[in-house]
Amino acid sequence: MRIYFGILNSRKIKWPKGCAWCNSEPTRWYKYRKKTMQGIGLTILSPFLPVPAAEISSRVASVSYPVCYLHNILAHITKPIRLVMAFLIFNIITVPYQNDIILWLCNLIIASLGYYLWRRGIIVHKVYEKHIELSIPESKYAEEFMVLNECHSIHKHVLIQEE
Ligand SMILES: [Zn+2]
């Protein structure tokens, strides 16, 4: 189970003292950058060159949270984009053995381990106009986070800060 929080963009996030993954002594801040696509619109490239072009609008937010040495490394490795890349590279270099059952097992292990580790950390789900939505695995850490950030209102499954 994970706990979902809605944090206002106008407020600074308060993190509990420990590493966000294991609550041990943190050694650094891990910066999580999240981009949420909003939509695709048409735009004119320039007044001198009236060519229509597709414009993708998005919202970006950066969230820095405390991590210990090990979880800083794990947070870097378990970014979904990196896991997908590792998965693709592994499958490209092993093309000659494509029919080998061991390869399928390796794929399964890499994918499930990656997914499991990714779910153990902080996930920023979406950047909205006024707030971001993030989730933390259910734990003492999540409870402390809720209290520190005064996320006392519940909207659907998300604990939100009052404006
Ligand atoms: Zn840790």
Residue 121, pLDDT above cutoff 70: yes
Q: How far is the CA of 53 from the centre of ligand 1 (A)?
A: 45
pLDDT > 70: what percent of the chain? 94
Return all residues near 106 (Cβ < 8 A) that are at least 6 apart: 90, 94
Q: How far is the CA of 141 from the centre of ligand 1 (A)?
A: 12
Which residues, listed in sequence order, are joined to residue 119 by a DSSP beta bridge?
A: none
Q: How far is the CA of 40 from the centre of ligand 1 (A)?
A: 39
Residue 134, pLDDT above cutoff 70: yes
Q: How far is the CA of 33 from the centre of ligand 1 (A)?
A: 19
- Burial degree of 65 (CB within 10 A; 0-12, 13-18, 19+): buried
Residue 45, pLDDT above cutoff 70: no
At residue 3, φ and ψ (nearest 5 deg) are -110, 130
More confident: 137 or 163: 137
Among candidate residues 20, 50, 7, the one with its CA nearest the CA of residue 136: 20
For 88-103, how does the pLDDT look when each residue is reduced to its tens digit (9 = 90+)? 888 888 877 777 788 8
d(CA 160, CA 163): 9
Q: How far is the CA of 38 from the centre of ligand 1 (A)?
A: 33
Q: How far is the CA of 67 from the centre of ligand 1 (A)?
A: 5
First-residue to last-residue Cα distance in the chain = 27
User: Is the torsion defined by CA of 37, 41, 42, 44 positive or negative?
Assistant: negative
Work out the pLDDT band at 105, boundaries 50, 70, 90: confident
Q: How far is the CA of 116 from the centre of ligand 1 (A)?
A: 15
Q: Which has the minimum average pLDDT: 10-19, 59-68, 96-105?
A: 96-105
